[in-house]
Structure 1
Amino acid sequence: MLTLGGVAAAEPAAAVSAPSPQASTHVVDRWARHILRAMPLEQKVGQLFVADVWGKSADEVHPGNQRKYGVDTPAEVVRRYHVGGVIFFNHSGTDNVDSPTQLARLSNGLQRAALSARPHIPLIVSIDQEGGRVTRIADQATEYPSAMALGAGRSADNARTAAEINGNELRAMGVNQNFAPVADVNSNPLNPIIGSRSFSADPGLAGELVAAQVRGLQGGGRPTETVSASAKHFPGHGDAAADSHVELPEIKRTEEEWRRIDLPPFEAAIAAGIDSIMTAHITVPSLDPSGNPATLSKPIMTGILREELGYDGVVVTDSLQMQGVREMHPDSEIPVLALEAGVDQMLMPPDLDVAINGVLDAVRSGRLSEERIDQSVLRVLKLKWKRGILVKPLASERSVPRHVGTAEHRATIQRITDRAPTVLRNDAGVLPATNPGKVLVTGWNRPEYPGYPADPVAALATHLGRSATALPTGTSPSGAAIERAVAAAKESDLVVVLTNNLRTGASQRNLLTALLGTGKPVVAVAVQEPYDPGYVDAPTWVATYDWRAVSMAALAKVLTGAAAPQGKLPVTVPDGTDPGTVRYPFGHGLSW
């Protein structure tokens, strides 16, 4: 007997053969129901959870697994809980990523752990590989521009191509689900968590590019070469002024406003055949006055998503470790409420034992029926069939270098990214700087930590050539750092200063103002959200929408005249002190 979270589970029944991805829906439904009858309740409930694990190999002993799960290795987590999926990260907490081949080896090890149980049901292996700042694997793999950079490029074909390359590379690494694209419409410039992760503030443009990326991720080859897409965060996180990681944001739109602004990209995703939709930990009183986060709202998840929109794919929560979903209910109650609302899978509960046993207790008490559990398990099983995970759960580790980070992929993504840089202002005619002389590149850079590349200041200086000097000043430059930058600027012919979040970055504003005061030609570049030009009145402003090396290469071409700027603002940039005043309108962008 296996003990699952302190509950004894019956030995599972014999395995049955999985249908091919080309099988009819009738055959798949019959197979899935046969599998369901072979699964004890504990195994069914396990399929409804997606776990984060510690370690870069399936058998790596890591104290993080012991702290959270009471076992040593990622493989033991999978075997103990029969989870339906795992998710990989590249941060210091649960760092799973080293290289593409290593990631394939980790995925394969966890799949073998899942397949060691009977019935043999492989895992959904997930990652957040959105592009831009939300990139989980960049080293040796192709890196992608942010969604908003694609929005600036205004090409659905390019958005689809980028997603197709992304999906093919992920599947080659053993990942079969990408929690992307972001379908939120970033209509609030003060949004602290979405921003450039969104394609646009325009629902039509956002919906067009969301649909394109869904088709690229899910349709870029045979099912065994593609990944499940997951549109997020329903019903729309774009108007939030708070971060749901740390609190429960309230969306104050009327229902009519929500239908006009936030709904269209999700409708587009559903029309494109999206495999799954991720929920938002936000409250929307006009849709559900209960105060519950949307993740736990039956009027939103069942009433709107299931019944009105007719969506019958997998609905997965955003991370249940986030405070936005934990403010009103205990951790044992949240998965039960999510299932009652119409959700299928629970992502990263803070205590998996508590979460699973909460669901088991609800079934045994009669609060949840086993038929309700079966309904969600069937959706999960059908997703695994649809994406070819059942017949090809393992990746070829030896072939990873032939498919991931190839010269062809990198060149294609660079070509796509080259359309993004948007020149908002060029009053002094500084651009293009075809013969810039001595160039100082300074300003914002992020401290390095696992999973992130070297700073964009250095990357841009490298692309500009030997006449450029890099002088990064960090996220909050000190007075001494500003003085050093000013002194270096006085010895230069052109200054390029990178900014990120001038709204809250007073010291960054001071740096830019001081550099403008030198009298030298200054090019200010917003390297993440394009709202920075509303806070400092520089005569030359450019927006890149993210700071990764691929975007810095595109920026260098525009600055030097090697390429004409093509980007058009996918949002409206207001005045930072007077939000009612538009500094740069939607669609604005200069060229030459």
Structure 2
Amino acid sequence: MQDIHTILAEMTLEEKAGQLIMSSFVGRNTVPDDMVALLGSGAVGSILYFSGCNVVDPVQLRDLTEKVQTAARTNRFGIPVFVAIDQEGGQLAPITCGVSIGPGNMALAAIRDEKDAVEAAYENGRITGEELASIGITTCFAPVVDLCFEEGLPVKDNRYFGSDPVRAGKLGAAFIRGLNSAGVMSCAKHFPGQRNVDIDSHFELDILPGSVADMMKREWIPFQEAINADVSMIMTLHAGLTAVDPTNTPATLSKPIIDGMLKKNLGFGGLVVSDDIQMKPIKDKYGIDGAVVKCIAAGVDIIIVSGGVSEANAYIADGVRRGEISIERLDEAVRKVLEYKQKFIRNEVPPHAVTDRVCASADKLSTIQRCADKSITLLRNSTGLLPLRSVAPDSRIGIVRPSMGRLMMSDNTNFYQVSFKDVFSEYFPSVHEYSVGLEPNETECLGASDWAFMADYLVFCTYNAYKWPAQLKLLDACLQYAGPDKLIVVALRSPEDLAILPENVHTIIATYGVAECSIRALARTIRGAVQPTGVLPVGVGGGSIARGAGLTVS
């Protein structure tokens, strides 16, 4: 890569604009010819990987990344690309095998001791960063630092650190410092703050109701902490914020929100990256051509335009020619992108031996497991059932669980291949696993009831039962056969399930997710190999169970 001053002086408008475009493609072993052409011409400056489109395992992804960078460096300035992925841990980890997947934000926030929680967040960031760096990935779109503060609404997402802005800020900053230590770019998201509401910004435009004073005391504390921790990127949210921009223009396209509030007021000097501009609230109203121009004019530095759009850089260049984007604004964004590329992109992708040695190493898996162990939260143990230390060799442990479906767009738990039976068999001699649908049917209920009758202990798992109430009907049926004294109920995903469980359930646990480390932590806790010490990082049931709830057992 040449000198930045020289590059800027010689670039065409289209080449400058290309540095501001992050695109994607479908391909696991080769880069499609059309993307090779876009990279070579400088029309695309960054690539975003998706689980279903690009990922098999770390070595395959390392080889694909090498091909991406080889294609990119054929542009006339030899400029490499940012290669990004949303490897958050918990419910969103596109690389699902061969790496150390952490328990996720809500689980980390459930660690009782704040010092331990901050250390765990740092370690999760560091481990994720080191593994991504060994693959050649330059950018991790994590952590999510949005707050789950609407405690009167069901907690639908486990990507939050919880409802305490100060604690969320500390944990987010620690995760960022961990990524930074590995030389991988971090990204706090989604500014100005995604709410815990039934509005998915992939499909609808949310309007944030808070005043600037409210946001400064709540939503923006974690973002400010991220900035203080030297976060590389902040991702925007497709939502309006009336208090800052009365037109309710989505933040991604709003100069008062991006340039005025994020850059000038909060003092962010890194790269502002948009969420995918192909999302419905943006594309339907503004069109891709109009949206990319408004993005750059608003202060966004990199625009995610997922696959299928090859003219995005031309749209921006035309916007400059029409005077809708100043050349100064364009050059400012391009210069910043090139500076970060000089800082974070290595000349070569690490060799296979490094990928093999770094990813899912024993020490990394052990560290991740210790973090998950500390997150398990015991909410009821009224009959003293736990821990099950004295289990007879012929005792049967039955596990009834719903299938791990993809419940929202930012979710790939349906790709996780964890076997509850295999994990629990590390700690119990006789384990049987029975899977049902999210809304169990009559046949599934009959099969589960059989296991409730035959098992000596039954681990009954819910998976957002607050939304799929047939799971509670199945629980009632199992209670008739298992009885409360041999039944352990586990809220696998949303802790909201804790608030709707009946009083005659005597033993209740929350895991905050289904990453393998969380399932192993669950088995270890039930067996008594580790002590449950987690606490709820958010209130549930309209406040009926408060933030901070959680028992300990010696």
Name the TM-score, length of structure 2 as normaliser: 0.92
Question: Is 1:151 paired with 2:106?
Answer: no
**Deviation at residue 399 of structure 1 after TM alignment:** 2.3
Q: Which residue of 2 aligns with 1:454?
A: 417
Q: Which amino acid aligns with 2:159?
A: R
Instruction: After superposing the two structures, state which structure 1 stretch, 446-455 or 110-119, moved more.
Output: 446-455
Question: Is 1:88 paired with 2:49?
Answer: yes
Instruction: After superposing the two structures, state which structure 1 stretch, 501-510 or 343-352, moved more.
Output: 343-352
Mark the CA change 1:217 to 1:86 in structure 2 (over 3 Å): closer, same or farther.
same
> What is the distance in 2 between the residues matched to 1:322 and 1:545?
28
1:49 to 16, 21, 29: 21
**Deviation at residue 464 of structure 1 after TM alignment:** 4.1
1:492 to 447, 455, 461: 455
Question: Is 1:207 paired with 2:207?
Answer: no
2:262 to 299, 305, 322: 305
> What is the distance in 2 between the residues matched to 1:289 and 1:200?
29
Contact 1:502 1:509 in 2 (8 A): yes
Give the secondary-structure state (helix, strand or coil) at the position aligned to 1:441. Answer: strand
Q: Which amino acid aligns with 1:498?
A: C
> What is the distance in 1 between the residues matched to 2:168 and 2:156?
13
Q: Which residue of 1 aligns with 2:75?
A: 117
Question: Is 1:522 paired with 2:479?
Answer: no
Q: Which residue of 1 aligns with 2:326?
A: 369
**Deviation at residue 167 of structure 1 after TM alignment:** 0.2
Instruction: After superposing the two structures, state which structure 1 stretch, 132-141 or 355-364, moved more.
Output: 355-364
Q: How does 1:49-88 map to 2 (within 5 A)?
A: 49-59=21-31, 61=32, 72=33, 74-88=35-49
Number of equivalenced pairs: 537
1:550 to 517, 520, 542: 517
CA deviation digits over 1:209-228, x for unaligned, max 9?
Answer: 011011100124xxxxx210
Mark the CA change 1:552 to 1:465 in structure 2 (over 3 Å): closer, same or farther.
same
**Deviation at residue 279 of structure 1 after TM alignment:** 0.4
Contact 1:146 1:197 in 2 (8 A): yes
CA deviation digits over 1:368-407, x for unaligned, max 9?
Answer: 12221111111111111222x1x43422233210111111
Q: Which amino acid aligns with 1:204?
A: V
Mark the CA change 1:460 to 1:476 in structure 2 (over 3 Å): closer, same or farther.
farther
Name the TM-score, length of structure 1 as normaliser: 0.87
**Deviation at residue 73 of structure 1 after TM alignment:** 5.4
Contact 1:513 1:536 in 2 (8 A): no
> What is the distance in 2 between the residues matched to 1:191 and 1:32?
49
> What is the distance in 2 between the residues matched to 1:368 and 1:262?
30
Instruction: After superposing the two structures, state which structure 1 stretch, 171-180 or 336-345, moved more.
Output: 336-345
CA deviation digits over 1:329-388, x for unaligned, max 9?
Answer: 22211111111211111112465234333212211122212221111111111111222x
Give the secondary-structure state (helix, strand or coil) at the position aligned to 2:286. Answer: coil
Mark the CA change 1:451 to 1:480 in structure 2 (over 3 Å): closer, same or farther.
closer
CA deviation digits over 1:241-270, x for unaligned, max 9?
Answer: 311112112222333322222010000000
> What is the distance in 2 between the residues matched to 1:124 and 1:215?
19
Q: Which amino acid aligns with 1:477?
A: P
Contact 1:191 1:241 in 2 (8 A): no
1:478 to 441, 453, 458: 441
Give the secondary-structure state (helix, strand or coil) at the position aligned to 2:374. Answer: coil
Mark the CA change 1:32 to 1:171 in structure 2 (over 3 Å): closer, same or farther.
same
Q: Which amino acid aligns with 2:205?
A: L
Give the secondary-structure state (helix, strand or coil) at the position aligned to 1:352. Answer: coil
Q: Which residue of 1 aligns with 2:552?
A: 591
Q: Which residue of 1 aligns with 2:279?
A: 322
Mark the CA change 1:457 to 1:442 in structure 2 (over 3 Å): closer, same or farther.
farther
Question: Is 1:345 paired with 2:345?
Answer: no
CA deviation digits over 1:264-305, x for unaligned, max 9?
Answer: 000000001111100011122223221211111111111110
**Deviation at residue 182 of structure 1 after TM alignment:** 0.6
RMSD: 2.1
Question: Is 1:39 paired with 2:11?
Answer: yes
Q: Which amino acid aligns with 1:453?
A: Y
Q: Which residue of 2 aligns with 1:293?
A: 250
> What is the distance in 2 between the residues matched to 1:323 and 1:393?
37
Question: Is 1:411 paired with 2:372?
Answer: no
Q: Which runs of no fewer than 5 residues in structure 2 stay unpaired?
A: 407-411
Mark the CA change 1:260 to 1:463 in structure 2 (over 3 Å): closer, same or farther.
farther
**Deviation at residue 513 of structure 1 after TM alignment:** 2.4
Give the secondary-structure state (helix, strand or coil) at the position aligned to 1:425. Answer: strand
Contact 2:156 2:196 in 1 (8 A): no
Which structure exhibits the higher relative contact order, with contacts defined as CA atoms closer than 8 Å and separated by 6 or more residues?
2
> What is the distance in 1 between the residues matched to 2:468 and 2:203?
20
Question: Is 1:429 paired with 2:384?
Answer: yes
> What is the distance in 2 between the residues matched to 1:190 and 1:110?
46
Q: Which amino acid aligns with 2:120?
A: N
2:473 to 476, 488, 510: 510
Runs of 4+ deviating beyond 4 Å: 189-194, 447-451
> What is the distance in 2 between the residues matched to 1:506 and 1:412?
36
Give the secondary-structure state (helix, strand or coil) at the position aligned to 1:573. Answer: coil
CA deviation digits over 1:143-190, x for unaligned, max 9?
Answer: 111111111114211210111111011010010100001111112358
> What is the distance in 1 between the residues matched to 2:387 and 2:242?
49
Q: Which amino acid aligns with 2:163?
A: A
CA deviation digits over 1:200-239, x for unaligned, max 9?
Answer: 210011000011011100124xxxxx21000000011034
Contact 1:228 1:274 in 2 (8 A): yes
